[in-house]
Structure 1
Amino acid sequence: MHPGTTLGRYAIARRAQEPVTGDPSSARRWVARDSDLERDVVLLVLPLDDPHTDAALDAARRASGVGHPGLTRILDVDHDAERAWVTESFRGDDRSLAELATHGLPAEEVRRITGEVALVLEAARSRGLHHLAISPDSVFVGPDGSVRVRGLAVDAALAGVDEEGDEAAALDGAGVVALAYAGLTGSWPLETSTSLPPAPRDATGVLPPSHLAVGVPSDLDTICRETLADDAGPSSPGDYAASVSPWSRTPVDDGAAQPLDEATGDDGAEAPFADAPGPDDTQVIGVTPAAGAAAQEHRSTAVDSDDDEPTQAISRGATAPSDEPTQVVSAEGSDEPGAARTGRGAAAGAAAVSVAGALASGGKVLGERVGRAAQRTRERAGEAAADRRAQREAIRSSESRDRVSLGSAGSQDDLEPPAPLLPADASEPPSREQSRVVVAIMALFVVVALVVGAVGVSKIGDNTDLSAIFGSDAQGADPVRPTQSSSTSRPSGGGDGARTSEPIPVIGAIGYDPNGDGAEHNSEAQRVYDGDPSTSWTTEGYESPNFGNKGGVGIVLDLGQARQVRSATLQLPQATTVQVFVGDEAGIAGTELGRSEGKNGPVTITGRSAARGQYVTIWFTTTVQSDDGRHRASLAEVVLR
């Protein structure tokens, strides 16, 4: 594979991701151009001879049914003679979490990103799917702060990871914690390969984030420590989201967590002794304790004079014990050999004192900076914890005010409604004239109601054919005998037979795939009862005639209420095996009305007796191979009676 290669309607442009599983011969993602729709997409290209390719393609089909804005959309799944590929949506301005973590992220932004990822994975878990291979390279953040997850179920299938149930949920929960660790430290704590460097370890395991960076919130540090070192992490992505909530709904940019060496200023710690005078520069005679103390805080500066006067060395920030300044003379200015030897010894002692003072000063500065950084970290963590405690207290206080115990419910004083705004004379009793008017109006209303009621009662049964309902005890004197033609125009059985010949209306339909993603071309389902045989509902294309090792797929018709179904007339474009079930729930657990095998065109399936139910499931168990090599089943029209 290289740029310029064409796969179907896609032209490869550039590589988007290194091998997904770390194996150079395995699947890769490429940015490609869709020639039909004129848009950029991402192609996950897989070799057909890879033992995990079939599982990955099946996982991609199942993941395409999870419609969540936080997931990268899967647009197509296809293959040719040598390769298979999965087409994913592409947004060129997104940045991966690995790239963001390399440049540094604020701790609260890490909380927001991982919280959103946890909600996405929890939504997928509710649909029966898990990621199982989450990494910083599969999480993307847009310019607006939106978070998207790529590779749901597919990356795990390529890596051969196959977990289900609680184990899969716990594995995804630990993966989200690892993302938080990566965002805080810029390193990856798990054994899987990513573009980030591996996290440092000691004898107990992965180092906590607080050992590698400052400004790490205590709750994130604790959950990383418990998950990665003590194996006591969240049981699911939703559990992680509940542990770190609440978080900001907008991107947070308040400064990234700094590594300890930058925050404590190790580079600057060398400054106090970087310019310390060497033993050959000057020689100090009579270094006093005050000068030695000053050397521990500041470096001395020597000022050379142009004449033979002794140079005076003044230590900044130090005061000599006497009024005379400390004298510094050059070794060449000494006339006596003893004085030279004394000068050289004093110079060596002075150099030792300078170095010791510089080291002490560097250690003091480094300690002060580390202490200040730690103090700021403690203050920020304390403020954050106090804010969260205040929020929880406010919520509990609000709930306690709204909650009333059962014992005190009866003793609560009922609030009186506010008095209506009435005229000032409203409180006066009505006059006799007003009372007569009110009584007359009320009497009129009563009379009108009685008249309307009497008329209505008199008309009850006028339009009802009671003889048709209860039957007639005797025939007329000259009954009309039906002719031969009229007796054969309606089916035997009288009125009931006439009613059963009427089609039963269908109010809705949906694809049925209980062994897959639950859906089967739902957008085409309404075509089976639109009255147009030229339109049809078709299953998805499968590699094998048994629907990819599934028992079958079908379509469910909703009748709106329970109805008696005696027959179903199917318009089958292809000769397949189909069964019809009727029940109060969608599926094949209801009463089987009948089946058809190897027939196409109009096929009527009639049951031995009527089956009652609200839902009719038409279940296909065989397929027919199409021109593109895929196997499908289709249904053009259904009429129920």
Structure 2
Amino acid sequence: MNEVVGRGTVLAGRYRVLEPGSTDLPGTSLWEGNDQILDRPVRVRVLESGDVAQALDAARRAALVTDARLVRVLDVGMHEDTGYVVTEQVAGPSLDQLVARGPLTADQARALVGEVASALEVARRRGVHHLTLRPSSVHVAPDGRVLVTGLALDGALLGLTGGDARSTSRTDAVALVRLLYTALTGLWPSGAHLPATPAALPAAPVSEQGPVAPADLVAGVPNDLDTLCAVTLGVHVDGPHSPGEVVRELEPWGSIRTVGLSQAAEEMPAQQDWPIVGAAVAASSSVGPGPDVAPEYDYDDGPPTQAFTPPPPQAFTPPQVQRQSVRSAFADQALPGANLPGTPPPATPGRTSAFGPVGGLGTGPVLPPPGAGTPGTPVPPSAPLGAPGGAAPYAGPPAALPLPPAMPPAPARASAFGAAPGPSVPPPAFAPSGGAGPQQPAGGDLEWEDFGVEEAPRKRRSDPTAIVLGAVAVVVLIGVILAFRALFFGPDAGGSPAAQTTSSQGTQTSAEPSGSAGEPSASATTPVSGVAPVIASIQSVDPSDADGEHQEAVDRARDGDPSTFWYTMTYKADDFAGFKPGVALVLTLQETSTVSSVTLQVNGAGGNVQVRQSDAANPSGGTLLAEGTLGPETVLTFATPVDTSTVVLWFDRLPTAPDGGFRIELAEITLS
């Protein structure tokens, strides 16, 4: 018992410690307490030994995950050099208390473990894992909610904090299947290939392939649940690798029965040893007893023919508990204006008019389309044609309306560029203002100057469309010619000697376009060093954290295996949710080399990356070499090759990952 924190101690001037509770975590003590400010019951876990700082940090990370099935962390702190974590009160029996008197039915086991898996999937998407899931950390509240305690905290107390995201997700997935096995059989599966997790339950019998299948212990176990347990808990690394995959294996499930649940855990008769059914008897007995193996059963008179059947539940009407899915949990956590991960675009609202909804999406009548009245035209079933409130019968197209009288054709306008297109009408006489003037003669060889008429006072009106179209056609023709010459004849083929001489002197005339006008000279693109770039090391730089983002995984971005990748934390918006301006990868080369392009293989699309000639001290500064949007294969080519020993990849916007979150998954980096 801790000497600093005891009955009557007030933590942080707010939480009064009242009565001790039981716990299965070494180095800690559990207390019932009261929040004196809000006058509500709380639960206090006092950290007496171990890595207290790491455990408190894990509790702070767990407090950032919001889900109704995860017990909320209310406060974290130190009291006279003793750490403590305050959570909301937990009501209802735990899973080990429920199965201590008998296993659950298959549908209740499916629903209970499914709710736990949905909660852990919400936490996984925020980068938080449980790592120590066991029957004592799962409770069923009187209102039917499943409550999970010890998220991230219990694993930190037992020193289980290492590993990458893939391995930690696999650990939680296996633990969920172990809970399912326990709920179906009342036994805790263990073995050398399974993580050591404390559980105050008898061990399940073990065969050469792992724990004996639930269907061989209890009758009535569905095939899908039996196969899930056998495949996941076997000696091979198979089965689901994340809580989300466990959800897909179990869904759909019904509600959890809560009436008399806590009384059943106390009033059910003590569980008797039930026989092992089927061929697992020989397999389990051949292994021999061990520290994690249940006692062998003596079947000299032959195997029994009837398996253990749980007592029938009491007659009651189960309440309908609304199941909260992973998607709805994320919808409740969305920041204002932030994009939801994996959210489909909003549906286009139906347009309405005085004639009713478009496309028959509403409930009003739909007007027949042109050509209605023919057989096969759909009619709304709500009201027959011609009935009151229904659509009137279609009587065909309306009578043709009288057209206005035709306007006389406008006379053609004469201009210096010729007659405008139109009907053949003799041009009117041209007379300058102030009096009658000479008309243009019918002959086409004479000009206005022959009659002594000055053009200055004339107001010449012409249609510029022909001029614009002609200029565009000329520009397009020139572009096609230049592209054809550059594609098939090289940059210098076909150029006139005068143009080549002018280009060599650094100037070019506009009268003679050359195919090599836009190409840089050979001397300007010749590398200075000529050494191929080879990445020696990669450093992750995070302006808000000196340790960077997952520095332990940066070498996966250059190991030549596209299935492995470096990744960042998952954020709720592509701008890092306002936590930081960006993250960077500093590529240090083996020696100063000429770099002309960078190729990135990314799992996802979107975001933005900048290639800079800088260093770790100033990742967002230096010379900007290239910039672009991330995609499955992003090629960033420099305008001019550079000789450098370091290249910085500065990510100021995050792409959308395959699961809908905002993070970077960088599989490979290639320099050329």
TM range (shorter): 0.3 to 0.5
Q: Pick the structure with more helix per residue.
A: 1
| TM-score, length of structure 2 as denominator length | 0.41
Please say which structure displays the higher CA radius of gyration. 1
